[in-house]
Amino acid sequence: MSSALMANYGHPELQFEHGKGVYLYTADQQRYLDFTAGIAVNCLGHCHPHLVKAIREQSERLWHTSNLFSNIPTERLAQRLVDLSFADRVFFANSGTEAVECGFKMMRRFHYHHGRKQRVRIISLTQSFHGRTLAPVAACLNPLHTEGFLVGDSGFDQVPFGDLEALKAAITDQTAGVILEPVQGEGGIRAVPVEYLKAVRQLCDANNILLMFDEVQSGMGRTGYLFAHEALGVTPDLLASAKGLGGGFPIGACLSTERVAEVMTAGTHGSTFGGNPLATAVGNAVLDVIATPEFLQQVQARSARLRAGLDGLISKYPQLLAEHTGLGLMTGLRCVCSNADLIKAMHGQKLLAVKAGGNSVRLLPPLNITETEVDEALALLDKACATLQKA
């Protein structure tokens, strides 16, 4: 298929025409079970009636005002995020990378505001992924993403995942803060060890530097908690959210405590579209559904069912599958075979999944998936493994 789009995504073989619930459909009505959920975005599946209603109603009321004016859904979503989290303030953006960028700027501005102008450097972990604009790319140092794009080190230092001594050694009088994903996504679905995370929090406090969590992928109920860090018992100063927050509509948010937010005085940061009422109306509708203890418990129950099934498949196909990783429905399947081969075999069974680092396959179903749909995915994965084993 020829395309006028740039080739940066390669040439996707599949094109979808519509979606409903956990299924995607091609124009010729081929049905696929979607365990990508738009890379952990469609947290309530495709065209969820409550979200469709919210965007339809908002589209007939108010689309956009810019931040010259306040609007009702945006104020409401900010207040709800504050009420549901550690945060006191919210900045809305349009994507994950922008939410992260806002956090980076706030880390630096915080120290600048308090007269520590040399504290500009930010520490990140190996195999992290924080987005594709220049600062997140500089933070992650993935050669595929950096080559030909960076000027100098852009003020980032990287330390090995989980290595506390390396982190200690990297903190200098120029350090502004640390960013990490409580559960790494693109890097291979692995949770940061709890003891390490607690020690990082203590190190940040002892050095008066800031701790930022990137929960763009792990947030919004994906792990069975509204935010993954709640499961790990450590609270950040700043947090980036996106993906599931809009259930498929573009939105990002940077959440922070008052002590950090107070440095973002009028004019210091902005976005034309950030806080767009269409996006925040959908964000409110997402919270209506996911931000209840019952819903989050159901995510944990579905995860337990999926993982029990995966245990069975790992025992059945030890030549192909090694272990499952992650938390809740942020599921990694570490492969013995090539992850690309497994994904291809899954596509052959009309089951969609996403690659991740560490030779893993990511299983990221909508959070409202039913038991029957979990079982269907396990049966299709079984068939995919059987085909791959025979090949």
Ligand X SMILES: Cc1ncc(COP(=O)(O)O)c(C=O)c1O
- Total residues contacting ligand X by CB under 6 A comes to 15
Shortest distance, position 306 Cβ to ligand X, whole Å? 20
Q: Quick one: which of 199, 125, 122 has its CA closest to 161?
A: 125
End-to-end CA distance of the chain: 28
In this chain, which of 157, 181, 237, 373 binds ligand X, going by CB under 6 A?
A: 181
Shortest distance, position 270 Cβ to ligand X, whole Å? 18
Tell me how far apart the alpha carbons of residues 215 and 138 are, in angstroms, rounded to a whole number.
18
Shortest distance, position 74 Cβ to ligand X, whole Å? 19
193 DSSP assignment: P
325 DSSP assignment: E
| Contact residues for 148 (Cβ-Cβ < 8 A; gap 6+) | none
Site string for ligand X, 127-156 (x = CB under 6 A): --xxx-------------------------
366 binds ligand X per the rule CB under 6 A: no
Closest residue to ligand X, judged by C-beta, is 96
**Bridging pattern class, strands 330-335 and 321-327:** antiparallel
Counting beta carbons within 10 angstroms of the beta carbon of residue 355, is it exposed (0 to 12), middle (13 to 18) or buried (19 or more)? Answer: middle
124 binds ligand X per the rule CB under 6 A: no
Considering only the stretches 94-102, 191-199, 328-336, 363-371, report the one whose residues sit in contact with ligand X under the rule CB under 6 A: 94-102
96 binds ligand X per the rule CB under 6 A: yes
Q: What tokens were used for 104?
A: 């980076």
Shortest distance, position 184 Cβ to ligand X, whole Å? 8
35 binds ligand X per the rule CB under 6 A: no
217 binds ligand X per the rule CB under 6 A: yes
For residue 88, which amino acid is it?
Answer: D
Between 96 and 366, name the residue whose CB sits nearer to ligand X: 96
For residue 286, which amino acid is it?
Answer: V
Residues that bind ligand X (CB under 6 A): 39, 95-97, 100, 129-131, 181, 185-186, 214, 216-217, 242
